[in-house]
Structure 1
Amino acid sequence: MTGSASELARRLGEHAEAVCREYLSNGQRSGNHWIVGDVRNTRGRSMHVRLKANAKGLPGKWVDEQSGEHGDLLDAIRESCGLLEFRDVADEARRFLAMPRPQAQDPGAQRQPAAARGSPEAARRLFGMSRPIAGTLAERYLAGRGILLTAHERALRFHPGCYYRDLVTGEMQTLPALIAAVTSLDGRITGLQRTYLSSGLDPSGKVGKAPIPDPRRSLGHLLGNGIWLGLDLGTPVPVMAAGEGFETMASLRTVMPALPVAAATSANHLAGLTFPPGCRRLYIAADADAAGRHGIERLSRRAGEAGILALALRPQLGDFNDDLLHLGPTHLAASLGDQLVPEDARRFLPSG
């Protein structure tokens, strides 16, 4: 830690309780500690911030007993505010402490601008601040939907305190969220989809979506790109499947784990999906509504023009996640086996 960082951390420690009330507002004081869920200001009791110096150490030091994370109040400001650059963290700390900003050593140096709301850069920063889904609410949510994916799916992450703004009232809150990266074929993140989750269990004992008007939101550049599962960069993809919804496509991949799939997030984006190199056969997950049919027709037409055979896969119930949940993986696999080209059924369905 640099000298300036050490000094800022020390000054923040002198006002540890005030810092916690500002940046870890979902917690409360208990004796000589501020108790909160985690450094991202989630509700709970896992993280302890020391408020006064004692034999165990300096004020402002904290530890999350569940995750093992630890740090000082600069780290708390960084994580709770979603900042990435130290200069931004330092500026926020100085603002709180009413300290003047130091003169730049290079008068001509330009500060890196904040990422614009809804931009690909904002998507990349949020994805980078999230963590793998193993052992999180996101993994439990997917399991409750019958979706079982391997730990190698790089597109999926979890954020315990993702910002959500009510578009009517403007009210802001933080909610846990499943984060799915939308990428181009070269693997660059261009956007993402957030599925906001409830922090508790629903009546069935599962993790559900948050009780908000629109628990699923996307940001960034989505057209032409998708949430890719099983895409091996730089390798031809002769056979793949595509559809609108992430859970629909993840359900297909649950029973066909070797098949690369892409979720385009909407019917319009599905129609404009970019085909990977070497694609010869494209299975399109059908959607019952008019917009879905329109997206399938446009994508099929584009595939034909590119010399790709497009074939529709149709669920027996509302969508393939309904099939997976209510009919079971064996029944879903059998239904898909009747719709796949025999060569693909032998290759992608475990039962052959």
Structure 2
Amino acid sequence: MTDIRTFASALGGDVAGRNRVLCPGPGHSRNDRSLSVTFDGAAFAVHSFAGDDWQTCKDYVRERLGFPKWEPGDGQDRRIPAAHLQGFDAGCVDAEANDPRRTEDDLIRIRRARDLWDEGQEPRCTLVETYLRSRCLELGDDLAGKVLRFHPRCPWRDENTGRTIFLPALIAAFRSIDDDQVTAVHRIPLRPDGGKIGRRMLGVVHRAAVKLDPIGPDLAIGEGIETAMAARQLGYSPAWALGSVGAISFFPVINGVKRLLILGEVGKASEQAVRICGQRWQKAWRRVAVVQPATGSDLNDELISRVRRHG
């Protein structure tokens, strides 16, 4: 049977759970992670956080995986009525968000991620600092080496050739929200001038986060590392980065956190993920606030605009 990593590779996405992949939706960019695909053997279910048509998404996944085209069966319409769709989405996501189990395959991927993290080096005075400076982000003592590191030869699959190449990269540790152990690594390969090539995750990101700060009664969560770092500089802390829009929707309720600040981004995918996550926390009687960027598509864009405007 094909394993979940093979499915993720074919879809150009990341493994996000025991049987779930977050990947680009049809017509979206390579860095998009708005499509959730949950596998049960060769069968699968799809959910688009961008609101893409479910049948279009299923056809797209079938094509990418080399599955035969869908053929009508008994002719019954099994689509979920629009009036019940939001509740169905939330119920399915809530069930997985609260499941902390790890499979043997998960443990193998976690070991690979920890090995890569252990190879990381001091990030200051490297391309990591060059990249972060270009985004107006500060690399302080509390982040350097503990949360963010530099890897001089980070493995990266070239999507044009399918081969593994080695590139200098910013790497960040995803730590379990249950026991604080490293479970995955966020990889951002960099060009010689410090520009970003892309971003991917290695390991298990389910129930994990790039924890820029220790947890507190308030907690801000965002998609990208850059968004969460910008939030801290704009006064929203403690802050965690979850890596993708899909991970926002799956973020579980955590003991000790009284108020959740969700760092929204421009777009329908973010709106839907924020709604699903916010409803879960409100049902648990926690306060929820959403922070939207005043300019640009995310808080890092807003920070850059402020810095350039005020010097």
Please report the TM-score for the alignment, with normalisation by the length of structure 2: 0.61
Report whether the alignment pairs 1:249 with 2:228: yes
**Per-residue deviation, 1:132:** 2.3
Report whether the alignment pairs 1:181 with 2:181: no
Asked whether the 8 Å contact 1:244–1:265 carries over to 2, the reply is: yes
Task: Map 1:59-138 to 2 at 5 A.
Answer: 119-138=109-128
In 1, Cα distance between equivalents of 2:186 and 2:240: 13
Asked whether the 8 Å contact 1:196–1:209 carries over to 2, the reply is: yes
- Equivalent residue, structure 2, for 1:30: none
Q: Classify the secondary structure of the residue corresponding to 2:186.
A: strand
- Give percent identity, aligned residues only: 31
- Equivalent residue, structure 2, for 1:139: 129
- Equivalent residue, structure 2, for 1:226: 209
Report whether the alignment pairs 1:209 with 2:188: no
**Per-residue deviation, 1:134:** 1.7
For structure 1, the 5+ residue unaligned runs are 1-114, 202-206, 332-352
Q: Classify the secondary structure of the residue corresponding to 1:327.
A: helix
In 2, Cα distance between equivalents of 1:297 and 1:198: 36
In 2, Cα distance between equivalents of 1:280 and 1:138: 34
- Given candidates 238, 242, 247, the residue that maps to 1:260 is 238
**Per-residue deviation, 1:263:** 1.1
- Equivalent residue, structure 2, for 1:77: none
- Equivalent residue, structure 1, for 2:258: 280
**Per-residue deviation, 1:145:** 0.6
Task: Map 1:320-331 to 2 at 5 A.
Answer: 320-328=299-307
**Per-residue deviation, 1:133:** 1.1
**Per-residue deviation, 1:268:** 1.4
- Given candidates 192, 196, 207, the residue that maps to 2:189 is 196
CA distance 1:149–1:275, change in 2 (3 Å): farther
Q: Which amino acid aligns with 1:222?
A: V
In 2, Cα distance between equivalents of 1:120 and 1:322: 32
CA distance 1:277–1:330, change in 2 (3 Å): farther
CA distance 1:303–1:116, change in 2 (3 Å): closer
Q: Which amino acid aligns with 1:137?
A: L
For structure 2, the 5+ residue unaligned runs are 1-104
CA distance 1:295–1:278, change in 2 (3 Å): same
Q: Classify the secondary structure of the residue corresponding to 2:183.
A: strand
In 2, Cα distance between equivalents of 1:256 and 1:228: 16
CA distance 1:323–1:136, change in 2 (3 Å): same
In 1, Cα distance between equivalents of 2:138 and 2:176: 24
Deviations 1:112-140 (A, max 9, x none): xxx99981111111000111212221122
Report whether the alignment pairs 1:319 with 2:302: no
In 2, Cα distance between equivalents of 1:268 and 1:181: 18
Higher alpha-carbon deviation: 135-144 or 294-303: 135-144
Q: Classify the secondary structure of the residue corresponding to 1:198.
A: coil
CA distance 1:263–1:120, change in 2 (3 Å): same
In 2, Cα distance between equivalents of 1:181 and 1:136: 18
In 2, Cα distance between equivalents of 1:118 and 1:125: 11
In 2, Cα distance between equivalents of 1:139 and 1:117: 31
Q: Classify the secondary structure of the residue corresponding to 1:222.
A: coil
- Equivalent residue, structure 1, for 2:151: 159
In 2, Cα distance between equivalents of 1:118 and 1:216: 21
CA distance 1:240–1:117, change in 2 (3 Å): closer
In 1, Cα distance between equivalents of 2:189 and 2:153: 10
Please report the TM-score for the alignment, with normalisation by the length of structure 1: 0.54
In 2, Cα distance between equivalents of 1:256 and 1:135: 26
In 2, Cα distance between equivalents of 1:225 and 1:278: 16
Q: Which has the higher contact order (CA 8 A, sep 6+)?
A: 2
Dislocated runs of 4+, deviation >3 Å: 115-118
- Equivalent residue, structure 2, for 1:269: 247
In 2, Cα distance between equivalents of 1:273 and 1:149: 26
Asked whether the 8 Å contact 1:184–1:224 carries over to 2, the reply is: yes
CA distance 1:145–1:122, change in 2 (3 Å): same
In 1, Cα distance between equivalents of 2:238 and 2:309: 20
In 2, Cα distance between equivalents of 1:170 and 1:142: 29
In 2, Cα distance between equivalents of 1:227 and 1:155: 7
**Per-residue deviation, 1:322:** 0.8
Q: Classify the secondary structure of the residue corresponding to 1:283.
A: strand
Q: Classify the secondary structure of the residue corresponding to 2:279.
A: helix
In 2, Cα distance between equivalents of 1:118 and 1:209: 28
**Per-residue deviation, 1:208:** 0.9
Report whether the alignment pairs 1:169 with 2:161: yes
